[in-house]
Amino acid sequence: MAGAQDNRRLVEEARQIARQAQELLASASGDAAGVARAAAKRLLDEGWTVLVSGLRSTGKSSLVCSLWGDSGLLPTAVRDCTQTNTLVRVPGAGEEDRRIVLRFLDREEAVGFALRDLAYHRLEEVIREVAGLLGQRLDAMPPDERIRWAVSTVRRLFEERPDVHVLHEPATEQVEKLEQFIEFIDSPAYRSGGAVEMPWSERREYLMGRRRPDGRTLEVGKLLSLRLVELVRATGRWGDSPPHLVDSPWIPTFHNARRADLILREAESADVLVIVALPEAFELEPWVDTAFRARPRLAARTVVVFNQVDTLDTSELFRRGGFAEAWRANLDMLTRRGVRPRNVLCSCARLPFLEGLPADTQQSAFEAERSARLRAVLARIRKVLAGRSADELTDRLAAACDPADSGVESLRSKLLEMSRADVPAARAREAAEAIAAVADVEFEGGGARAWKTLRERAAALSRALHDVSPAEVVPGDGKVRRLPDGRPLFRS
Q: How many CA atoms lie within 13 A of 201 on its CB side?
A: 0
Q: Cα–Cα distances in Å, from 68 out to 84, 87, 233, 256, 320?
A: 19, 12, 9, 28, 37
- Residue of 465, 482, 425, 461 whose CA lies nearest to 21: 461
Residues of the chain with pLDDT under 50: 1-2, 78-80, 253-255, 467-492
Write down the pLDDT at residue 216: 57
Beta strand pairing status for 217-218 and 210-211?
antiparallel
Write down the pLDDT at residue 447: 75
Write down the pLDDT at residue 349: 96
Q: How many residues does the chain have?
A: 492
* Ramachandran angles phi, psi of 416, nearest 5°: -65, -40
Report DSSP state, residue 169: T
Beta strand pairing status for 302-306 and 272-277?
parallel
CA–centroid distance for 82 within its chain:
12
Question: Cα(310)–Cα(347) distance, rounded to whole angstroms?
Answer: 9
Write down the pLDDT at residue 409: 97
Q: What is the CA radius of gyration of the chain?
A: 25
Domains of the chain and any CATH numbers: 2-45+424-465 (no CATH), 49-103+233-420 (3.40.50.300), 104-232 (no CATH)
Write down the pLDDT at residue 488: 38
Long-range contacts of 130-135 (CB under 8 A, 24+ apart): 130/157, 130/161, 130/164, 130/168, 131/157
Write down the pLDDT at residue 359: 67
Whole-structure pTM value: 0.86
Write down the pLDDT at residue 1: 40
Neighbours of 22 (CB within 10 A): 16
Q: Are 275 and 304 in contact (CB under 8 A)?
A: yes
Crossing angle (nearest 10°) for helices 422-436 and 31-44: 150
